Amino acid sequence: MTTLPPIIEALREAKAIAVLTGAGVSKESGIPTFRDAMEGLWAKYDPAELATPEAFARDPEKVSRWYDERRVRCSAARPNPGHRALADLQAWCGERGKSFTLITQNIDRLHQAAGSHDVIELHGTIWVWRCTLCGDEQEERGGPFERYPPLCACGGFRRPAVVWFGEMLPEQALRRAFDTAEASDLFFSIGTSGLVTPAADLIHIAARRGARTAEINMEPTSITGLTDWAIHAPAGEALPRLAAALV
C-alpha cells in the first residue's frame, strides 16, 4: 500500500475522475465472478455456453433458470466496503466541484445500493428482464420465477437485460464511457482483468489523452505495467483507506 499517498495527491489535483469496476469488486460481497467454477447442477457447464443468444434460442428454460438463480443470489448480497467507499468518493468529488463518473461491468447494481448515482452499466443489469418479442422491460426484485422462461404479457419469452457474448454493448452507455475516459485526468481500473473489450480499452484511451492511471486488483493484470500506480489488494481494503485519507 506504499502507493497510496501519491494517489491521494492525484485525487486532490484531479478535476475529472473516472472509475471502471469489474467482478472483483462484487466478489467481496459473495457474488462469484463469471469465470469462477460453477456449482451444483451447473458444474458441468461453461458459463460462456449459457451466455449467448444462441444458447437461449436452443434452450430458453435452461438459460433463464441459470440467470434467475444468479438474480436471486444477487438479491442476498449487500454492498461491501469497496462499494461504499466509491459512493463516498463520489460525494467528496461533488462537494469540491470535481467530476466523478463510475463505469461498471457488473450487473448486480450493488454500486447503486451503496449510494453511487448515475452509474454507467456497460453490461446491463440482471434486475431487468426484457421481452424478446415486444421489447418491454420490467424490473424483477422478487423471488424465483414461477416458470422458465418467464413470459411477457404479450406471450413472448423474457430474458435478462444483460449483454451476452456476440451482442453489442448498449450504445448510449458505451458512448458515455468513451467520452468519460477521454475527458478524465485520473482513471481508476478496479477489480477487473483488463482483458474484456471494449471496457478494457477505456484506460488506454484515458492514458493517451494524458490522464494519470491507477489499478486496484488482487493480482497483476495485463494493464498493471501501463498504469502510474498499482495496488495489489482487495478493493474492500484499499478503497476505504483511500477515502479515509481524503478527509
Q: Which three cell numbers stand for residue 134?
A: 415486444
Catalytic residue among 83, 123, 204, 232: 123
Q: Which helix (H) or strand (E) holds 82?
A: helix 81-95
Cβ 105 vs Cβ 199: under 8 Å: yes
What span, in angstroms and rounded, lies between the C-alpha atoms of 69 and 63?
A: 10
Residue with cell 449467448: 52
What span, in angstroms and rounded, lies between the C-alpha atoms of 131 and 128?
A: 10
> Is position 123 annotated as part of the catalytic site?
yes
Neighbouring C-beta atoms of residue 59, cutoff 10 Å: 15
First to last CA, the chain: 18
List of residues 6+ apart from 161 with CB closer than 8 A: 124, 125, 126, 128, 129, 130, 137
Query: Active-site positions?
Result: 123
